[in-house]
Amino acid sequence: MYEGQITVLLGNNGAGKTTLMYMLTGFYSPTSGTALVNGFDICKDMEGARRCLGLCPQHNVLYDNLTVYEHLVFFAKLKNYPVYEIKRDIETFLQDIQLTDKRNAYVKALSGGMKRKLSVLLALIGGSKVIILDEPTSGLDPEARRQTWDLLKKYRSGRTIMLTTHYMDEADYLGDRIAIMANGRLQCCGTPMYLKQQYGKSVISTVRV
């Protein structure tokens, strides 16, 4: 994966996408092999890797009695982000994803889609250099999905982003590179154009009116 790019892990349920992400973030230990996250070996220095990670898991990890704003401040401080930059970034993020009017709302009062958008922001806040997003647009309506896509494209500069999805349109729109997984193994990887040229099929449809 490369800085300034979005790498999409594409595959059906059970393909191994989430398991891979859990290994990269330290929830699971690899049975063999290793990986480097921003130069840190996940088997030898997981703490170093975690310091530069931002994670949006498949299921929201939020606190019902904290507001949207309090969540963002809390997660930014966990990453030792400079205080003078926290407020600036929060205002920008909330505006980008249209949650400004919910800044003081408690999480328990948010819709499922709003909670999901907040989870994505928590991965980005705090200057994280490596962003890992597990099905970040799951449960979002089309408009919210597009807002999230645009947010990730806007902030990929200076970051390395990996996300999982089983939506072809999402992979095609977001992915600078797409890695296709099946049965726990990487099957192929390349730019969307390369994969279309290598594996795409032309379809001719005849419509009678």
What does the pLDDT look like over 94-152, one tens digit per residue? 999 999 999 999 999 999 999 999 999 999 999 899 999 999 998 899 999 999 999 99
pLDDT above 70 (res 206): no
How far are the Cα atoms of 29, 37, 70, 74, 79 from residue 26, in angstroms, in the given order?
6, 11, 26, 21, 17
pLDDT above 70 (res 15): yes
Residue 79 has a CB neighbour count (10 Å cut-off) of: 16
- In this prediction, residue 209 carries a pLDDT of 56
- In this prediction, residue 40 carries a pLDDT of 86
5-198 has which fold? Rossmann fold (3.40.50)
Note the helical H segments in the chain: 17-24, 46-50, 68-78, 83-96, 112-124, 142-154, 168-174, 192-199
Whether residue 75 contacts residue 63, with contact meaning beta carbons closer than 8 Å, is answered with no
Query: Between 83-96 and 112-124, two packed helices, what is the crossing angle to 10 degrees?
Result: 140
What does the pLDDT look like over 179-190, one tens digit per residue? 999 888 889 999
- In this prediction, residue 16 carries a pLDDT of 87
pLDDT above 80 (res 205): no
Confidence bin at 201 (pLDDT 50/70/90):
low
What does the pLDDT look like over 18-56, one tens digit per residue? 898 889 888 888 888 898 888 889 899 988 888 889 999
Q: What is the mean pLDDT of residues 159-176?
A: 92
Intra-chain end-to-end CA distance of the chain, in Å = 48
